[in-house]
Amino acid sequence: MPTALSPATTGCEALFSLLDLFKKFGEGYYLLTHFKCRKALQIFESIPTSQRETGWVLSQMGRAHFEQANYAEAARTFAKARAIAPLRVECMDIYSTSLWHLKHDVDLAFLSYELVDLDRLSPQTWCALGNSFSLQRDHSNAIKCFRRATQIDPMFAYAFTLEGHEHISNEEYDNAIHAFRKGIAVKKRHYNAWYGLGIVHQKLGKFDLAPQKASVYVLLGRMYGLAGEKGKAVENYTVALSLNPQVHVSLALSCLNIC
């Protein structure tokens, strides 16, 4: 005959199950913040459906798709998160940018309207509204919205970056540089702002500001090699050798690590 589990045993099993769940939350979030998006998605997808189909988890999965430039899947995931947690504003700025890339102007306008009605004091709301204006090529009003976002939260780096891109569209390159630098000052690892600065310098023809250190290209080569893109790895190693012929030892070590 089956024996009933004691309350202590049942309690321990429940506790271990809860700890495993939180471990997956933390591991997935850690991987996402380090831009290991595919691994993060694998972790989040391994979470039981009852906990995966929640606003927070789906928002993180949407971010992971977004970082991989899979904007269609990101938008679908964010829409699902919004249906489950309609009062949630976190990550709605990323959702709005996904819609911007997809040029879904009606969906973006509707999202902006709902967020304004929900929380006018959220920086995510103003980013969504700014993206809506941007898609309509109303860059001046978009800039006003992004500035409003940073007035509400001066530490919201993404709004500075979005503002910078609007200045680029208006060919206001000094203002763009200023906005991107503010974003970097707030968050040094905010790669979006660094990318924006690169675009500005490229448009201004300031190619002398491009990295001229062989070590940078060695690292790039190694990263491409680890990602399985051996052709791009060789290209970067070649540039590294042209900048510094003495870098062959570093190249050899990098090759050993990826081969």
Q: What is the pLDDT of residue 211?
A: 62
Statement to judge: residues 206 and 259 lie in one domain = no
| H or E, element range at 39 | helix 37-45
Statement to judge: residues 69 and 157 lie in one domain = yes
Instruction: Tell me, yes or no, whether 9 lies in a domain.
Output: no
Q: What is the pLDDT of residue 1?
A: 46
Statement to judge: residues 205 and 221 lie in one domain = no
What domain range is 156 assigned to?
A: 19-210
Q: What radius of gyration, in Å, describes the C-alpha atoms of the chain?
A: 23
Statement to judge: residues 161 and 188 lie in one domain = yes
Statement to judge: residues 46 and 163 lie in one domain = yes
Residue with tokens 């911007």: 100
Q: What is the pLDDT of residue 256?
A: 46
Q: Which residues contact 110 (CB under 8 A, 6 or more apart)?
A: none
Statement to judge: residues 172 and 217 lie in one domain = no
Instruction: Tell me, yes or no, whether 241 lies in a domain.
Output: yes
Q: What is the pLDDT of residue 230?
A: 80
Q: Which two tokens stand for residue 19?
A: 């700890």
Q: What is the pLDDT of residue 82?
A: 97
Statement to judge: residues 79 and 118 lie in one domain = yes
Statement to judge: residues 198 and 237 lie in one domain = no
Statement to judge: residues 81 and 161 lie in one domain = yes
Amino acid at 32: L
User: Where are the alpha helices (H) located in 136-213, listed in sequence order?
Assistant: 139-152, 157-169, 173-186, 191-203
pTM above 0.85, yes or no: no
Instruction: Tell me, yes or no, whether 7 lies in a domain.
Output: no
Statement to judge: residues 216 and 199 lie in one domain = no
Q: Which two tokens stand for residue 257?
A: 């690590």
Cα 27 to chain centroid, rounded: 17
Total domains in the fold of the chain: 2
Statement to judge: residues 136 and 221 lie in one domain = no
The burial class, CB within 10 Å (0-12 / 13-18 / 19+), for 90 is: middle
Cα 85 to chain centroid, rounded: 21
Are the C-beta atoms of 121 and 90 separated by less than 8 Å?
A: no
Max Cα–Cα distance, the chain, nearest Å: 81
Residue-wise pLDDT tens for the chain (259 aa)?
Answer: 455 556 666 777 778 888 888 999 999 999 999 889 999 999 999 999 988 999 999 999 999 999 999 999 999 999 999 999 999 999 999 999 999 999 999 999 999 999 999 999 999 999 999 999 999 999 999 999 999 999 999 999 999 999 999 999 999 999 999 999 999 999 988 889 988 988 898 888 876 666 666 666 776 777 777 677 788 888 878 877 877 776 664 555 555 455 4
Statement to judge: residues 121 and 43 lie in one domain = yes
